[in-house]
Amino acid sequence: MENKIVIAADSTCDLSAELIERYHVKILPLTVNLGEEQYLDGVDVDPDMIYRHYEEKGELPKTAAPNLSRFQDFFKQHTADGSDMVFFTLSSTMSSTYNNAGLAASEFEGVHVVDTKNLSTGGGLLVVAAGEMVREGKRAEEIAAACRDLAGRVDASFIVDDLEFLYKGGRCSAVAAFGANLLQLKPCIVVRDGKMGVGKKYRGKFPMVLQKYIADRIGDASDVELDRIFVTHAGCDEAIWQQCVEQVKALAPFKEVFLTRAGCTISSHCGRNTLGVLFIRKTPLAES
């Protein structure tokens, strides 16, 4: 008899409560520090608390990966009944989460750690794919191997309306931020090989830019897997994300279109008016 398989991930996968319940995903939260106070991402802190703290104090939060001890406790808790586990982490180039998970997993025979080489629902796409594979009866090691291959086909990107958080977080220069804001430039941030980079730059008001961006990313959809797509935002107004969801549905016959809100870790780096479409392509993305 095959072991039961637990699908798990760190909190940066940004899956909705609905999807976490559908696939019985176990979540290990990252740590969020607001001043002297320490919280757990999605447990006792949410993105709106981060934004309020920034507005009041002018201080961005600091996020940290779960340490080795927390991983050990988490793996022990969810495999004590003999279950195997496939655990998904934020890109190893962006955080020590993958390294810590791998060290802890070496003490457990049935725990398989997957570097999503992505962030937010870019990694969430792999978690959902793994959940589907569990339903198909695949073994844990098969699921982990398949998802590592699938990682190269995840198309993850987002548009940032204001570069203030990226600048304050040290991810872009003051000159770049000033020039972009002055010219009303909205950069498309893309994830390639586990790293963030700048793609096409759009000019104009945020809602109009999002329409152009979504049309560019999906194109004629000939290279897009149509099982599912995520529209993920970091606190945009409802009118904005609703427009984007409707546009996605009009562009291609996706079986499922998921709207999700980015969690604390992602929101603390990009800021409130950020939105992306994330999906899987039929062919691997070109390496940067």
pLDDT category at 179 given cuts 50, 70, 90 is very low
pLDDT tens by residue, 150-169: 999 999 999 988 765 554 54
d(CA 212, CA 219): 10
Average pLDDT of every residue of the chain: 90
pTM of the predicted structure, to 2 decimals: 0.93
* Range 169-196 average pLDDT: 62
* Equal CATH topology for 5-151 and 153-281: no
What's the pLDDT at 171? Answer: 45
pLDDT category at 184 given cuts 50, 70, 90 is low
pLDDT category at 170 given cuts 50, 70, 90 is very low
* Range 281-288 average pLDDT: 82
What's the pLDDT at 230? Answer: 98
What's the pLDDT at 102? Answer: 97
What's the pLDDT at 269? Answer: 79
CATH of 153-281, one of 1.25.40.10, 3.40.50.970, 3.10.129.10, 3.30.1180.10: 3.30.1180.10
What's the pLDDT at 196? Answer: 82
| Cβ atoms of 243 and 213 closer than 8 Å | no
As a whole number of Å, the end-to-end CA separation of the chain is 44
pLDDT category at 265 given cuts 50, 70, 90 is confident
d(CA 239, CA 58): 28
Select, from the ranges 31-45, 67-81, 150-164, 267-281, the one with the highest average predicted confidence (pLDDT). Answer: 67-81
CA 273 from centroid of its chain's CA atoms: 16
**Helix (H), strand (E) counts: the chain:** 11, 13
pLDDT tens by residue, 48-93: 998 899 889 888 888 999 999 999 999 999 999 999 999 999 999 9
Fold type of domain 5-151: Rossmann fold (3.40.50)
Strand partners, 279: 155, 229
- Examine the pLDDT at 175 and tell me if it is beyond 90: no
Greater confidence (26 vs 163) lies with 26
- Residue in the block written with tokens 């020590």: 96
Where exactly are the structural domains of the chain?
5-151, 153-281
d(CA 33, CA 167): 19
Least confident interval from 25-29, 61-65, 96-100, 216-220: 61-65
